[in-house]
Amino acid sequence: MSQITGEAYQRRLERLAAHPAMANDNVTLPKGSWTGAARALIGLGVAGLLMTVAGAFVYNAKHAVASYSVGVLCVTAISLGALFWTMVFHQTNAGWHATIRRQLENIMMNLPLCVGLIAVMLIVELASGGLLFSWMRPEYADSPLLTAKRSWLNEPFLVVRFFIYAGVWTLLATKLYRFSVDQDRTGDRFLNNRARFTSAWGLLAFALTTGFFAFDFIMAMDFRFFSTMWGVYYFASGPFSCMAVLLIVTGMLRLRGRLTGVVGNEHVHDMAKLLFGMNVFWAYIAFGQYFLIWYGNIPEETAWVVYRKQGGWENLAAVLAIGHFLIPFLILLLRPVKRHPALAAAAGAWLLLMLVMDMFWLVRPMVYTPASGLKSPGPGAMWVDLAAIVGVGCLWAGVLARRIASGPLIPLKDPRLPEALDHRNYV
């Protein structure tokens, strides 16, 4: 079958522009809206981060850095999830996603911010000689396990790798965003094909960088521990949490009277299905990893898990099993929940909380290890964690809100837009 001519496509674009759902006040926010909210969020974020710094002085720096890392890893997972979905949708020529893709891209464009936040984390680690990254510490320098992997775990190479991860993510995000924004202006439908090609190699680059990022910035906190699944495990937090944010963002835009007839309950249904499916995927990966370590029961792996199953952390593990998997699984099985914008967004919000719990369970036990010689100040010190996580989250959300308000809410001239506007789930 031949291509359609440029003129015919122009006519189609004109018809599309005349679609009642495409009215300007439906697909853009009024000028200056959400600026107050964005400013407040960013302010709250900065305040949270300042409190975290205060926490470093009140308790200890390691605690504050760990809390900050939890926040950073969460928002990075969400942003990476958005990058992943954007690339997958391009790669599969998906039709229905056209009306939600701009919001995905907005979330994805928070990756440069995440890179900045990770850079702070890295600088603190380097400057402090390894608060969390214990392999930087002189007392382990002679550990045979460390010397065996010294050619990977050393400061200069870590910095190089950080620049590679940061470069790949920023490049992919900006490139895909640019294609989309350019299309709004020019209406060139073949930009989709270029985005598709970028996504093809992008997914490969994404898989490798995300995997090794997870090795370097989470797994290597305990240099003795290793798991081939680790990269997939961290990745698995991205897709569902990104869908959760997307459900919340589109829900809020609909509350503002935007996107009427553009993002309908059919889209909510599909987003919620992906939320459900990818959350099950997370559970599969998390259980698979835990299960094999539990079964193999060999010291170098098991020590890591054992430490997270004692001293109170076992309660958090139970919260994850029930709150991250079991309850959302049963609730999101129900079709009415998936088709209800508010309920689906609420389920998303719950899963975002669980994302924080998951990262918290991974990172925070590293602080008051027996080897560290630090004494836990007890639950009273939780305000530092709260401040850091809320701080990072608000900063991230503020930047996102500002970007959402600054442009059209959907890709205005996407060739698949008519298909997405008519999207419906039949069964």
In the set 159, 207, 303, 374, which binds another protein (CB under 8 A)? 207
CB neighbours of 194 closer than 8 A, spacing ≥ 6?
A: 179
How many Å apart are CA 271 and CA 27, to the nearest integer? 19
Among 24, 257, 371, 426, binds another protein (CB under 8 A): 426
Query: Binding residue for another protein (CB under 8 A) from 114, 285, 405, 412?
Result: 285
- Choose which of 8, 40, 123, 160 interacts with another protein (CB under 8 A): 8
For the residues of 128-140, what is the DSSP string, one character each? Answer: HT-SS-GGGSGGG
CB of 260 to another protein, least distance (A): 10
Under 8 Å between Cβ of 65 and 346: no
The CA distance from 111 to 54, in Å, is 27
Name the token pair of 280. 């099950």
User: Which one of 232, 332, 384, 395 is in contact with another protein (CB under 8 A)?
Assistant: 232
Residue from 208, 252, 349, 374 in contact with another protein (CB under 8 A): 208
Contacts to another protein from residues 76-135, by CB under 8 A: 92-93, 95
**Residue range at the interface with another protein (CB under 8 A); choices 11-19, 171-179, 237-245, 352-360:** 11-19
Q: Which is nearer to another protein, 65 or 271 (CB)?
A: 271
Nearer to another protein, 39 or 424 (CB): 424
Instruction: Quote the CA–CA distance of 106 and 250 in Å, as a whole number.
Output: 12
- Rounded-to-integer distance, Cα 245 and Cα 349, Å: 8
157 binds another protein (CB under 8 A): no
- The first and second tokens of residue 426, run together, are 């039949």
Q: Judged by CB under 8 A, which stretch of 32-40, 125-133, 221-229, 340-348 contacts another protein?
A: 221-229
Output 5 or 375, the one with its CB closest to another protein: 5
Stretch of 52-60, 131-139, 278-286, 366-374 contacting another protein, by CB under 8 A: 278-286
Q: Is residue 336 packed enough to be buried (19+ CB in 10 Å), middle (13-18) or exposed (0-12)?
A: exposed
Q: Are 181 and 62 within 8 A, CB to CB?
A: no
Q: Does 20 bind another protein (CB under 8 A)?
A: yes
Task: Give the shortest CB-398-to-another protein separation in angstroms.
Answer: 34
Nearest residue to 319 (alpha-carbon basis) of 361, 287, 281: 361
CA dist 184 and 187 (Å) reads 6
Which of 30, 186, 300, 382 is in the footprint of another protein by CB under 8 A?
300
Footprint (CB under 8 A) of another protein, residues 335-354: 335
Count the residues of the shown chain that bind another protein, applying the rule CB under 8 A: 73
Q: Decide if residue 158 touches another protein (CB under 8 A).
A: no
Nearest CA-CA partner of 68 in 149, 108, 109, 128: 128
Stretch that binds another protein, among 123-131, 203-211, 366-374, 378-386 (CB under 8 A): 203-211
Residues 23-62 contacting another protein, CB under 8 A: none
What one-letter code names the amino acid at 265? N
Reduced to 3 states (helix: H, G, I; strand: E, B; else coil), residue 133 is: coil
297 is an interface residue for another protein by CB under 8 A = yes
Written as one string, the DSSP assignment of 54-68 is: HHHHHS-HHHHHHHH
